[in-house]
Amino acid sequence: MFVVGITDLVSGPAASINKTIAGMKANATSGFDAIRGGAIGLAGAGLAIKTFMEPVYEMQRALGEVESLGVHEKELKSLQKTALGFSMKYGESAEDFVRSSYDIQSAIGGLENGELATFTKASNVLAKGTKADAATITSYMGTMYGIFQNNANAMGKARWVEQLTGQTAAAVKMFKTNGQEMSGAFSTIGSAAQAAGVDVAEQMAVLGTLQATMSGSEAATKYRSFLSGAAKAQEKLGLKFTDNTGKLLPMVEILNRINGKYSDLQDTAQLGALKNAFGSDEAVALVTNLIGKTDGLNKSIGEISMITGMDNAAKMAQTMVDPWDQFNATTKAVRISLGTLLLPTINAVLGKMNSGLTTVIGWTDEFPNLTKWIGLAALSVLALAGATGIFTILMGLGKTAMAASGVAVLAYKSIVVALAWVTTSATMKHMLLWTVFKAGSVIAFALTNALHVVRAGMILMGVASATATAPLWATVAVIGAIIAGVGWLIYKIGDWLGWWDKLTNLLQSTEWGTAILDTLGAFGEKISELLSWLGLIDDTNVSVSGTAEKSMSVTKPEQMPELAALRRPDASVPSASASLAGMMGNNKTIMATINSQNPFNPADLDDWAQYQGG
């Protein structure tokens, strides 16, 4: 009996390829997971620090803007402290508070001993209580200081601004207006009323009363026209509008005198006389608007004049506080307080980092070639990561395609089951099922080939990934060659100068040196034995052996007996099966020996098998 053995040379390499691809996928997935986790952790830590310190840096930038105007550090500390207190109490931004002081410092010079903080607080409290923005009110404060500067200096700037804040808040509440309208009114009228001797309480009352029917700037325009024409009007009307010092009388008294002479302003002749006296329709409009409101105007002037502080403005602002805004502002204030203490340390660390990066920039200029190779190595690593990412994407697409094929198979099975239940005729049923099964076979064949194509693509992707690593290994090889070259050069220089002989003699003269040399010698012998075993160096004493799976040994076979000698059975000659069993042993690979002098033909082989079978 003749036995033929076949060695499978395909399954092993194919399994190895599949294992390599699976390993690449697993390594890529774990690598990207590690990168993602590390990146998320690093980004989270950086974002947490940045988020925590952001209000601190915003505060520092705002203080820097104010400091650019020449404000001393003591005033800046007072301003920051006041800003934090204001933000926690009213739920507003501490940085915006500080920035609003820039306009105040620009408009009002000579603020000291905490006056800048007081002005800024008063402005922001008034803005909060009168539903105006801080920029509008700070501009209003600058305008009012320019108009009533003498009064402010006489009272003290801090006390004056608190009183002005309280009076403005009272006027806004009293006349149902807002801070923006009052600011517009005083910006339009300017110092005209102050020059005529009218105090601030009367001006606010007049302008506030007029704003019941018009805007603040329009009211100021009419008031300004009245003031400019009052001096001439008194002569034409035969009335006295000024006192002995030339200052204008209070508005209520002037209106009463006009009303005493011209009691019916509905009369066209009387209106004409007033217009001719004041010289403008705006002035006459003010008179006709206020002449019937003298009692209320007088009361308003008295109430505003009695206000000396800003408590009423603070109460108005407090009623508009949102608890959530207040909580948010409080947490930011805490972060600013803590961050300000940490800021010197953080700035020192950042300074060291900047200095180090500057040094690195200098090294790149000093060692351009080394910088180039480091850059190429970094690019190689990134290219490898990119290739691995593409490979992972392709693997994901392959899995998606397999999932889609599973859906197709499920749909196919559903159709088969449905037809089996729907079809009642056996013949028709068999025909339909036969058709469906044939279609399914075609689809399965197509899907199988498609998966083979996907698998081939994955194998090509593995080859491409291996190719992508070539620049990285080339870079490593170049760096290793440079290091080896430098070492070889040092060795040659030392050998030429006789350093190594001197070093050997020095070591041999001491016990510890002799021990080192003996150890190095033994290590060198082991290395030589290893290299000899690997066949990297010549050594006659080295022999190589291995198993059937790990290595292949070639033995010259004994010469087979001539065919004529095998024509008759002989008990001394073992059978073919025994010979083959002895030759194979436990190995799976069949070894066949062929006599090149007289090769077998089919007839000889058949005869030989019959003889051996006995």
pLDDT tens-digit map of 509-526:
777 777 777 777 777 777
What's the rounded Cα separation, in Å, for the pair 176 and 180?
Answer: 12
pLDDT band (50, 70, 90) for residue 495: confident
Separation in Å, CA 464 to CA 209, 453, 478 = 85, 16, 22
Question: Which one, of 395, 473, 284, lies nearest residue 20 by Cα?
Answer: 395
In this prediction, residues 299-316 reach a mean pLDDT of 92
The pTM of this model reads: 0.55
- In the predicted model, is pLDDT for residue 3 greater than 80? no
Instruction: Find out whether 409 and 448 touch, Cβ atoms under 8 Å.
Output: no
Q: What percent of the chain has pLDDT over 90?
A: 20
Distance of alpha carbon 378 from its chain centroid, rounded?
Answer: 23
User: What mean pLDDT value characterizes the chain?
Assistant: 75
Per-residue model confidence (pLDDT) at position 548: 36
Residue that is written with structure tokens 């087979």 in the block: 560
- In the predicted model, is pLDDT for residue 535 greater than 80? no
What sign results for the dihedral spanned by CA atoms 445, 451, 455, 458? positive
What's the rounded Cα separation, in Å, for the pair 96 and 76?
Answer: 14
Burial (CB count within 10 angstroms: exposed 0-12, middle 13-18, buried 19+), residue 193: buried
- In the predicted model, is pLDDT for residue 90 greater than 60? yes
Instruction: Supply 405's token pair.
Output: 């094929």
Instruction: Name the region of 389 (left: φ>0; alpha: ψ -120 to 50; beta: rest).
Output: alpha
Question: Which one, of 496, 462, 595, lies nearest residue 20 by Cα?
Answer: 462
More confident residue, 263 or 216: 216
- In the predicted model, is pLDDT for residue 606 greater than 60? no
In this prediction, residues 576-586 reach a mean pLDDT of 42
Amino acid identity of residue 276, one-letter, is N
What's the rounded Cα separation, in Å, for the pair 606 and 535?
Answer: 45
Q: Residue 250 — φ and ψ, nearest 5°?
A: -55, 150
Of these ranges, 17-21, 41-45, 264-268, 523-527, the one predicted with the greatest mean pLDDT is: 41-45
Least trusted range by pLDDT, from 127-131, 275-279, 490-494: 490-494
Per-residue model confidence (pLDDT) at position 25: 62
pLDDT tens-digit map of 326-362:
999 999 999 998 888 888 888 888 888 888 888 878 8
pLDDT tens-digit map of 386-444:
776 776 777 677 666 666 656 666 666 666 556 555 554 445 555 555 565 556 666 66
pLDDT band (50, 70, 90) for residue 545: very low
Strand partners, 248: 242
| DSSP assignment string, 8-68 | --SHHHHHHHHHHHHHHHHHHHHHHHHHHHHHHHHHHHHHHHHHHHHHHHHHHHHHHHHHT
Please give the DSSP secondary-structure letter assigned to residue 249: P
More confident residue, 461 or 96: 96
What's the rounded Cα separation, in Å, for the pair 142 and 154?
Answer: 17
Least trusted range by pLDDT, from 252-266, 379-393, 478-492: 478-492
Please give the DSSP secondary-structure letter assigned to residue 176: T
Least trusted range by pLDDT, from 25-34, 318-327, 529-538: 529-538
In this prediction, residues 469-495 reach a mean pLDDT of 65
